[in-house]
Amino acid sequence: MAFDIDDGGTIDRKELSKFLFSSIVGLCKLLGLPNPSFTGIQTYTYAVFAEVDGDNSGTVDFEEFSSWIKQSEILQEFLLTFTGQQTLERA
């Protein structure tokens, strides 16, 4: 997985936090928006991780991450807006 920094085969909360922080701050810079607080991003990370880690193992595997992306209304809208497509499951 692209966000599996330590190549452990899963994503832990710290790896997800780094990914979300970089993505959110990067998008804010590109759009000229103020950066959200670190605490705000951490709160969002914890909420997303709790949602994605379906088996409560403390890590997210490829299947959990893939399933979350396919079922997330926010991500599907993002994909549709910026790529003109959604995942095949949503097409």
Task: Map out the domains of the chain with their CATH numbers.
Answer: 11-83 (1.10.238)
Predicted pLDDT at 88: 58
- The pairing of strands 11-12 and 59-60 is antiparallel
Predicted pLDDT at 78: 74
Predicted pLDDT at 81: 77
71 or 50, which is more confident: 50
Taking all residues of the chain, what is their mean pLDDT, rounded to a whole number? Answer: 83
Predicted pLDDT at 35: 87
DSSP 8-state class, residue 89 = T
17-38 burial, b for 16+ CB within 10 Å, e for fewer? Answer: bebbbeebeeeeeeeeeeeeee
Predicted pLDDT at 57: 93
